[in-house]
């Protein structure tokens, strides 16, 4: 089964890709062997992140349109919030991208965070590698906007785009440290709103110290995604960033981050929240630390 699925994925068969993603999500025996046989592919991953309500889905929709216009094959992973009870996606319909679901050059998959605090799916690294192997020209990963912990996207994406809105001044202050580290491109969306120019100016001033320490200034762009304004400039900025030679140090840090995440997951694979819930139901202990002691010893 796995050999056949691998060959189908390498030939760009999206039905086999969708099936394999489900098998990886559900940790079906044998999936790791398939991943170990995946060839390395140069496909770049674009990470789209930012606070809730910034217009990430609308902007991704516009980016897909621009890529399709240029005859590109696009894969999209939309990571949605999940129910804390059944771990299913809460926004799986993705109405804003509905026009692309049957397009032959576009593959969209919604994933639930399944309780992950970093705004990503716990198997996102493996699923992203599957997407890269399927022959897409670009792979977009849109994360849940969860604030400081969304820096996890930096360990996955080759180019990280942080979306903000003009009213996000206070939010930027609280997220500032993480945003400065992860953003390769800043986008101020809904730039037709009042004070957009002032917000862009203040954001550039805030980034000025980072510009001095870096050879490459971080672009701050304006878009109105609902009107498809500024999308051409954003797409070109993404392509320009993808052409930059990634420093060896950063490349190895990203690989270290990915390997750390995978090692951590594998060491935790015999522990599930469902089993822990059942244990609590049958446990006489009411002390959390006494309860977890056996897992730490």
Show the 3-state SS of 56-105. HHHHHHHHHHHHHHCCCCEEEEEEECECCCCCCECCCCCHHHHHHCCCCC
pLDDT in tens, 256-292: 877 887 888 778 878 888 888 888 888 877 778 788 8
Residue 64 has a pLDDT of 95
What integer is the mean pLDDT of 221-229?
A: 95
Higher pLDDT: 268 or 68? It is 68
pLDDT of 247 strictly over 70:
no
Q: What is the pTM of this model?
A: 0.82
- The pLDDT value recorded for residue 95 is 58
Q: Return the pLDDT at 148.
A: 43
Tell me, what's the pLDDT at 92? 47
Pick the CATH number of 40-244 from 3.40.50.300, 3.40.50.720, 3.40.190.10, 3.40.50.410: 3.40.50.300
Select from 6, 2, 7 the least CA-distant residue to 30.
2
pLDDT at 284: 79
Q: Which residue has the higher pLDDT, 173 or 68?
A: 68
Arithmetic mean of pLDDT, 141-169: 74
Mean pLDDT of 111-125: 65
Residue 36 has pLDDT above 70, yes or no: yes
Tens digit of each residue's pLDDT (9 = 90 or more) over 171-200: 565 555 556 667 889 999 999 998 899 989
Q: To the nearest whole percent, how much of the chain has pLDDT over 90?
A: 35
For residues 280 and 146, give the distance between their C-alpha atoms in angstroms, rounded to a whole number: 29
Query: Using alpha carbons only, what angle is made at residue 129 by residues 189 and 98, rounded to the nearest 5 degrees?
Result: 45
pLDDT on residue 257: 76
Mean pLDDT score of the chain: 81
């Amino acid at each position: 089964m796995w050999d056949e699925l691998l060959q189908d994925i390498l030939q760009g068969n999206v039905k086999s890709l969708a099936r394999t993603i489900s098998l990886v999500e559900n940790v079906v025996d044998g999936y790791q062997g398939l991943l170990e046989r995946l060839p390395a592919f140069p496909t770049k991953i674009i990470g789209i992140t930012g606070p809730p309500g910034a217009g990430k889905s609308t902007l991704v929709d516009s980016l897909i349109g621009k890529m399709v216009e240029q005859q590109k094959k696009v894969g999209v992973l939309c990571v949605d919030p999940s129910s804390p009870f059944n771990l299913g996606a809460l926004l799986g319909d993705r109405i804003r991208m509905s026009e692309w679901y049957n397009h032959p050059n576009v593959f969209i998959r919604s994933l639930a965070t399944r309780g992950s605090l970093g705004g990503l799916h716990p198997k996102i690294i493996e699923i992203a590698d599957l997407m890269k192997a399927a022959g897409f020209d670009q792979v977009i990963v849109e994360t849940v906007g969860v604030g400081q912990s969304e820096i996890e996207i930096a360990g996955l994406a080759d180019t990280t785009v942080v979306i903000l809105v003009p009213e996000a001044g206070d939010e930027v202050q609280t997220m500032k440290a993480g945003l400065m580290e992860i953003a390769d491109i800043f986008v101020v969306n809904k730039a037709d709103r009042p004070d957009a120019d002032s917000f862009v100016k203040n954001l550039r001033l805030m980034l000025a110290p980072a510009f001095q320490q870096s050879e490459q200034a971080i672009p701050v762009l304006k878009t109105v995604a609902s009107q498809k304004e500024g999308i051409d400039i954003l797409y070109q900025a993404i392509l320009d960033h993808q052409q930059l030679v990634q420093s060896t140090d950063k490349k190895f840090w990203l690989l270290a981050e990915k390997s750390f995440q995978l090692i951590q997951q594998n060491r935790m694979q015999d522990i599930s929240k469902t089993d822990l819930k059942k244990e609590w139901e049958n446990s006489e202990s009411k002390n959390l630390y006494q309860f977890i002691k056996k897992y730490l010893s």
